[in-house]
Amino acid sequence: MRVLYLTNKPIYPLVDGGCKAMNSFLSCLLENKWEIEHLCISTEKHPFSLPAYPAVLQQKISISSIFVSTKIKFNKAFLALVKGESYSMNRFQSIEITRKIEHLIEQKPFDLVILESLYSTGSLDFLKRQSNLKIIVRTHNVEHKLWEEKSIKSTNLFKKWYLSTLAKQLKKYEIETLRSVDGIATISEQDQNDFKQMAIQSPICTIPVAMPNLEKRIDYNPNTFFFIGSMNWEPNKEAVQRLLNTIFPLIKREIPSAQLILAGSFMPQDLLAHQQDGVKIMGFVDDLTLFFNSNGILLSPIQSGSGVRVKLIEAMNMGLPIISTSKGAEGILHEGQLIIEDNPNNFAQKAVQLYHDSELRAQLGSKAADFAAKNYSTKTIARTIREFVDTL
């Protein structure tokens, strides 16, 4: 099986959950012993650097990139608005990508093309004209819902109208695109159900984010609270503010010595300069295993967004005790190994309980690790991908 894997940004460096989800998916493709041609879109925000890719991976797959400027240009945004087109998608479209794909096909045809997210579908019309080529779109979210949420939360009337318009245009594009491909790979069951409710009849399969098998469990003695997530994603920013303004102050009332660590890539300067008793702000974490092992309890009070929080699955795989909201745990398989609380007071009380009970931390963490090993292993997910492709 020869596969073209087109991603909307470079996989490496692994700066956020999206990159980690792509890396996980690539590992599953390689587990199936498929021949992989990886083409990524390079942008100002996510530039391509071949040395960032591990040397061992460079030996296994072919890697190339095409630069596309995704800077917002107001004249083009206005024109797209007038035409009723999705400017969010237009920014990622480039004839150069299509020409690159055409060149790769001329060298050696592909059996399967996997387009990572809607933002990689700019060459879809060209790809559909190729004979004997199966096309799968792998989705991370129901994209238009993210813009709907932004519109609902906005207090500026013009911005609310504009975001609502963008959401409607994106929804139209999303439905038309996903109806026209051979298959859709969602990360969560919730997204799969949402697409079916949108009358999208293309074959859909939920393919979770795979995790490597780990033998060593973390140390359950540390009882520091922490949150980790890429801070260029609005739901993570909201979760941090909820922790700082509401949940952690409630915890501090019960535990004056409590410590909260906030970590993640793209940490804004104003947050890095934040001063609050018991709070430590970090930036990007180089060694996630060491970070998880040095801290105790993951707090994830996410309230918006769609898709799956990869960091939570990573934490489960490591055996961490986790408290999350129902929105934060959305799309994640779990059977009681996560504590789910939406009420801030109850969330804080559960945190206090875990702080004082190392046995409960170990119990939850061990259940999470066992469950992740069973349901999120690379071999299990690779088999799911292979079986889905065989049905198309």
Range in 21-30, 219-228, 325-334 the model is least confident about: 325-334
38 pLDDT above the threshold of 70: yes
Query: pLDDT higher for 343 or 305?
Result: 343
Same domain for 114 and 259, yes or no, is: no
Residue 150 DSSP code: H
Same domain for 152 and 286, yes or no, is: no
- Which residues span the domain enclosing 355? 225-375
The answer to whether residue 89 sits within a structural domain is yes
How many whole angstroms separate alpha carbon 47 and alpha carbon 158? 33
Q: Return the bridge partners of 281, or none.
A: 262
Concatenated DSSP letters of 305-342: --S--HHHHHHHHHT--EEE-TTTTTT---SSSSEE--
Same domain for 82 and 203, yes or no, is: yes
Question: Measuring CA to CA, how many Å separate 41 from each of 137, 218, 228?
Answer: 15, 37, 26
Q: What average pLDDT does the segment 6-18 reach?
A: 92
Range in 107-111, 117-121, 214-218 the model is least confident about: 214-218
Residue 183 contacts residue 384 (beta carbons within 8 Å):
no
How many independent structural domains does the chain possess?
2
Same domain for 169 and 290, yes or no, is: no
The answer to whether residue 368 sits within a structural domain is yes
pLDDT > 90 in the chain, percent: 60
Same domain for 9 and 99, yes or no, is: yes
Same domain for 203 and 240, yes or no, is: no
306 pLDDT above the threshold of 70: no
Same domain for 262 and 336, yes or no, is: yes
216 pLDDT above the threshold of 70: no
Same domain for 202 and 234, yes or no, is: no
Q: What is the domain-level CATH number for residue 165?
A: 3.40.50.2000
The pair of three-digit structure tokens given for residue 153, joined into one six-digit string: 């939360």
Q: What is the dihedral of CA 112, 58, 265, 331, to 10 degrees?
A: 30
How many whole angstroms separate alpha carbon 138 and alpha carbon 306? 14
How many whole angstroms separate alpha carbon 37 and alpha carbon 108? 10
335 pLDDT above the threshold of 80: no
The answer to whether residue 169 sits within a structural domain is yes
> pLDDT-based confidence at 307, cuts 50/70/90?
low
The answer to whether residue 170 sits within a structural domain is yes
Same domain for 303 and 201, yes or no, is: no
What SS3 class is residue 286? coil
The answer to whether residue 217 sits within a structural domain is no
The answer to whether residue 54 sits within a structural domain is yes
How many whole angstroms separate alpha carbon 286 and alpha carbon 213? 20
Residue pointed to by tokens 């906030």: 262
The answer to whether residue 215 sits within a structural domain is no
Residue 56: what residue type? V
According to the model, what pLDDT value does residue 286 have?
A: 84
Q: Which of 20, 360, 355, 370 lies closest to 217 in space, CA to CA?
A: 370
For the chain, the average pLDDT equals 91
Same domain for 383 and 341, yes or no, is: no
The answer to whether residue 323 sits within a structural domain is yes
Same domain for 198 and 278, yes or no, is: no
Residue 13 region, left (φ>0) first, then alpha (ψ -120 to 50), else beta?
beta
How many whole angstroms separate alpha carbon 289 and alpha carbon 47? 26
Question: Measuring CA to CA, how many Å separate 10 from each of 7, 25, 107, 364?
Answer: 7, 13, 23, 35
293 Cβ partners below 8 Å, 6+ apart? 218, 219, 318
Same domain for 239 and 190, yes or no, is: no
Span 118-160, pLDDT tens digits: 999 999 999 999 988 999 999 988 888 888 888 888 888 888 8
